[in-house]
Structure 1
């Protein structure tokens, strides 16, 4: 899965670093404008994107730029005031995708296609659940107004689940298209890595 839509490794790395720079800008902007939850989220996405480069001590060892860009897009869009509820869950799903890709590409972990999809969906739901709890306590103790009522909170989780399933399907299609290392085992299972 080391390939990307683009074929040049340096170009891929440069585009990934550009997305990380946008994430760091969104982090600072969010803290300055009083949005600490979004600032923290953007910082986490930037840190996850940088893990391969830090661990391998190579500036060109980065996740695919289209994936880092997808993860950065909602945070950057939010900093320009164009945020929607779905963009937030796309950010969560993109973070789950980023984690899954990094585990598959940069570690010894091998994922079957079905497990990878389930991993992305469950990770998206787990992060969305934690994000919902954080926003609830922010409303309660910091005086923010993320949720109007309990049904609003529940629909948020339904939206997160839907986005998670779509992200899982995108993840599988992405691996099938851009993974030269995808193989089919004797028992018919597809493995990546």
Structure 2
């Protein structure tokens, strides 16, 4: 197999669906693994990634209606890295995971709905969605600490640094959305013909 055949195979909607379902299953497995080790919040986050990844297929009632596997890989990879990494790696992957989830939502809106975003709005949307997800994640952790005793203790400065890091990760995800997904991978054209 030469490089063009591999590239063509990876851009095929059927191959995309298979790889995407494997990544959804991987995110679900990370959720189960996190439950087993007592990381209930990260289990919830991993389950959220799996649910968002599978949502188009469930909504359209078609196993082939899946977001691009590359985007699901970006969302699932930080979950795995965070599960096996140390504290510093875990912190960095937290921001990447939140941005990747926002990127996944933006891609699903772009591919599976009539929504069309300009370059600047697409980047803005991913950044704002990342910031919103980081804020919601902070509130979820705080509520979980109150009711489940998860140990979410953070000062205001650390929380603000977390929001800044999430915003930077969101800008990176927005640029990835525009440069890679729209221009290089052409996700909409790749999936629309089959769906």
Please state which band the TM-score falls in when normalised by the shorter chain.
0.7 to 0.9
1:66 pairs with one of 61, 65, 70: 70
When the two chains are superposed, the root-mean-square deviation of aligned CA atoms in Å is: 2.2
Instruction: List gaps (5 residues or longer) in structure 2.
Output: 1-6, 190-195
Q: Which structure is higher in helix share? A: 2
Q: From the superposition, tell whether residues 180 and 48 of structure 1 become closer, same or farther in structure 2 (CA, over 3 Å).
A: closer
Alpha-carbon distance, 1:29 to partner = 1.2
Higher normalized contact order (CA 8 Å, seq sep 6+, divided by chain length): 1
Corresponding residue number in structure 2 for 1:172? 178
Q: TM-score, normalised by structure 2?
A: 0.83
Q: Secondary structure at the match of 1:84?
A: helix
Q: TM-score, normalised by structure 1?
A: 0.84
Q: Deviations over 1:117-146 (max 9, x none)?
A: 111000000000111122233344533344
Alpha-carbon distance, 1:178 to partner = 2.2
1:113 pairs with one of 95, 98, 119: 119
1:11 pairs with one of 10, 15, 26: 15
Answer whether contact 1:147 1:153 (CA < 8 A) is retained.
no
1:122 counterpart = 2:128: yes
Runs ≥4 residues deviating over 4 A? none
Corresponding residue number in structure 1 for 2:192? none
CA distance in 2, matches of 1:93, 1:73: 12
Answer whether contact 1:4 1:178 (CA < 8 A) is retained.
no
CA distance in 1, matches of 2:188, 2:149: 50
